[in-house]
Structure 1
Amino acid sequence: MPDRIPIRLDEYESAQLKIDQLTARDVDRLHALQARGCLTLVPDHTGWRLKADATVGILVLDRVRVTIAPKFVIPGEQLMSWLAYALGTPVPAAARRWATGPDGYSDLVAAALLEQCERLLREGLRRDYVRRVSVEPVLRGRLDIAAQATRRYGQLDQLHVRTFDREADIWDNRVLGSALKAALRLTANADLARALHGIAGAFPQASTPVAALNALDRTEYTRLNARYRPAHTWARLLLRGGGVTDLLSDHGSTADGLLLAMPAIWEAVVRRLGTEAVSPYGGHAVPGGSDIGITVRGDLGNVSAFRPDLLLSLPGHDTAQRTLLPVDAKYKRYDRHGVSAADVHQLLTYSAGYASRDAQSAVIIHPQSGGHAHRTLHVGSPHSGLGSIHVFGICTHALPEEAATWIGSMLR
């Protein structure tokens, strides 16, 4: 494989590409990613200008290898802790064997998959009964009488048989083989590539990545395959190129890569943070935010509805009465500038729609560095107060469990 030109930029930053650094296929793939809101590609007088949005990761094209690093939110040494927290899977220990260098973000995910696959091999791959149709010199399984009569014309030197044997060539293992192959294409670390190549041969592969993804979407976990869940989580992340079912809006990129949509990841983090923060005090998350949501009627077009990222049900002073608290995740630098008017209007609408009239409040949770922070916005009119907005800044240099404890102390 020819060496690709490395292009490195931070999220929200842009890089200049020469006209000959992108093939026609690359341009088509980048435009497809642009349609999903991952990046922006525009022509200029010298070639192309590639701008990253709120997306981080790696993108392997025909002639260039683009690395997009987080600008401020999650440091490399904490990335796996927060990503695993968002995915609801244990933090892999093997991921720490590789430093977070220029390609470290994709390498960390590949290392996490490698660790889980190594564990499954040590424990023994799951086997299940697989039906096979074959031609054998001796009788195994059941004789296919119709095939024997119509294809062998009664001859018995070769027997058409149907077998039903326990094999490792099942979908639980095939998706991992396909994911290991995808990880091998992405990694630039020689040690990691060697380890991935060594273990990939132990797993069967699906016919196509799409077939593997379809199998993952159909997978139901029981006591027989529950131990495969962490490995499948990292496999889905790699096979979708960063998209995760019920986590990221991207449904798979058309180019080899691992692109993580940071706003969607932060929303998943906040949903889990808020739920775990209030559970020790008798609070819980309202499933789906609410049954109906806040609706807008009478405008042109269809009726629209919107919900907060998280709606918490909290115990009130009276044990028989509970308070609803809307929480919204904002992937913004609210540690450096004030909350925008649009977000103030949005959170006031949430508080008016869900919170009780005597305590109309809502919460914004945003990422930051340098410790947790809390400030309160008091919104009022010339006649009365309209509500309050609590702005929580979560330090991503800390562990997620520490952040959940701190949020719980603030809400209590």
Structure 2
Amino acid sequence: MPDHRPEIRLGEYESTELGTDQLTTADVTRLHALQARRCLSLTTSRTGWRLKAEAAVGVLALDRVRLVVEPKFAIRGEQLMTWLAYALHTPVPTTARRWVARTDGYTDLVAAALLEECEKLLREGLRRDYVRRQSLEPVLRGRLDVAAQATRRYGQLDQLHVRTFDREAEIWDNRVLGVALQAALSLTTDSRLARALHGITDAFPHSGTPAAALRALERTQYTRLNARYRPAHTWARLLLRGGGVTDLLTDDGTTAGGFLLAMPMLWEAVVRRLAAEAAAPRGGLPVPGHGETGITVRGDLGNASTFRPDLLLSFPRPAPDGPVLLPVDAKYKRYDRHRVSAGDIHQLLTYSAGYTPADAPSAVIIHPQPGGYDRRTLRVMSPQGSLGVLHVLGIDTQALPEDATAWLRSSLPRASACVRASNA
């Protein structure tokens, strides 16, 4: 779909100057709402506005300009699609690679993924289910609505109020895809992708709003009848949410014409799956880091606060010892180039003190590292002895997820190994 608005491109953490005539009052309101969610920042400048991108990539179609934030740090292009599909537990779409060469980037890739899954559903035949309808017909079909016939037609029989129950494709499994295809069509500027989306949109019923479609997706239960819809619904949910892997940018007025994905949230989802799969062969299992196993601060002003690691792994130990916990935290930071910040060290030391043995506190940081793997061990010391051991692991984001899992399996410390390392 042609978009004649001027396009402004910048990468993660980059900034640009905007004139006062480039942003409307509605644009400023939307950008301030996104600033509250830490997707970007907007401040006044001598010439108008200064907009700085944070770690959220995608497209934001404003009233007068089209803003494109490109992934510059860790994961780009087709590889970004690979990791996103891994985080969402959905197959990597093959058709989406046709748009990798385009600089429109991430948004077009997700739209292409939705297109591929919808084309597959059409080839297999859309699911149909019984839909109850009330209509006015010249002949009797289904059941006669006696009350409506008597009160609205006053005994006349030239038109009949009937209730039918027929198998149709006008069901929410299909309607949410029609709504998502329309949303994708409004975001893409690639002419080939736009033509393909336009050609398939009419094949799906698309009545309803994005908010209603999202509510329907949340209610959807998958059985053998509609299990094949799961991948398409995954990409539809991502588009309709404006890019949120879980609940980022839900439909509250900030998502219209926009698609932004918070890269730290994506990296957390990747790390949770990577670490869980890497620990499984050694008996490691993810356990909740909240509730009875949470770290809680009480007695301060307001409600109690909590510390919650991105992942908490439980490793078995021989009887009579119980399982040992290992906290794992995902950091979307350049820890391949910079030292670990004091704030992150304090955070991980809190996790290690709260979850691991008192004589061997330890924790793990996993960060993205384009082009290679890396691991180093930080030992935090005090005059009284060791405060904890922090294992800093860098994952090669240019590798395939299964290769990264294999490397992490050999690098993730066992609970018993952490004990020996700390006592050494």
What's the CA shift for 1:320?
A: 5.5
Amino acid at match of 2:39: C
Note if 1:307 corresponds to 2:321.
no
Which letter does structure 2 place at the counterpart of 1:338? R
2:243 equivalent to 1:242: yes
Paired residue for 1:228?
229
> C-alpha root-mean-square deviation of aligned residues, in Å?
1.5
Contact kept, 8 Å, 1:61 with 1:255, in 2: the verdict is: no
1:51 partner letter: K
State the Cα distance separating 1:41 from its structure 2 match: 1.5
Q: Which residue of 2 aligns with 1:144?
A: 145
Amino-acid identity (%): 71
Given that 1:376 and 1:390 are in contact with CA atoms closer than 8 Å, whether structure 2 keeps it comes out as yes
Given that residues 241 and 255 in structure 2 are in contact (C-alpha distance below 8 angstroms), is that contact kept between their aligned partners in structure 1?
no
Q: Which residue is equivalent to 2:122?
A: 121
Match of 1:130 in 2: 131
Task: Evaluate the alpha carbon distance shift between residue 269 and residue 99 of structure 1 in structure 2; reply closer, same or farther with a 3 A threshold.
Answer: same
In structure 2, what is the equivalent of residue 105 of structure 1? 106
**Residues 371 and 395, structure 1, Cα contact 8 Å, conserved in 2:** yes
Whole-angstrom CA distance in 2 between matches of 1:222 and 1:289: 31
Cα distance in 2 for partners of 1:28, 1:382 equals 52
The DSSP-based 3-state class of the residue aligned with 1:88 is: coil
- Contact kept in structure 2, 1:248 and 1:264, CA below 8 Å: no
Runs (5+) with no aligned partner, structure 1: none
CA distance in 2, matches of 1:101, 1:358: 54
Alpha-carbon displacement from aligned partner over 1:13-51 (angstroms, at most 9, x marks no partner):
111112211222222221221222211112222121111
Pairwise CA distance, 1:357: 2.6
The residue correspondences of 1:7-406 to structure 2 (distance < 5 A) are: 7-244=8-245, 247-252=246-251, 253-288=254-289, 291-316=292-317, 321-406=322-407
Q: 8 Å contact 1:67–1:102 — kept in the other structure? A: no
State the match for 2:420 in structure 1.
none
Give the C-alpha shift of residue 75 in structure 1.
2.1
Q: Deviations over 1:100-124 (max 9, x none)?
A: 4321210000000001101111111
CA contact (8 A) 1:131 1:164 kept: yes
What is the CA-CA distance between 1:319 and the residue it aligns to?
8.4
Matching residue's letter, 1:274: A
Farther off after superposition, 209-218 or 284-293: 284-293
Per the alignment, do residues 2 and 324 of structure 1 end up closer, same or farther by CA in structure 2, a change over 3 Å counting?
closer
Structure 2, unmatched stretches of 5+, are 415-424
Counterpart of 1:22, as a letter, is L
Name the CA shift for 1:63/1:263 in 2 (closer, same or farther; >3 Å). same
Q: CA deviation at 1:249?
A: 3.5
Return the TM-score normalized by structure 2: 0.93
Larger CA deviation: 11-20 vs 130-139: 11-20
Matched residues in 1 for 2:217 and 2:3: separation?
Answer: 33
- 2:153 and 2:291 map into 1 onto residues whose CA distance is 65
Per the TM alignment, residue 191 of structure 1 is displaced from its structure 2 partner at its CA by 0.7
Equivalent residue of 1:21, what SS?
A: coil
**TM-score (normalizing by structure 1):** 0.96
2:3 and 2:290 map into 1 onto residues whose CA distance is 50
The alpha-carbon deviation at position 401 of structure 1 amounts to: 1.5
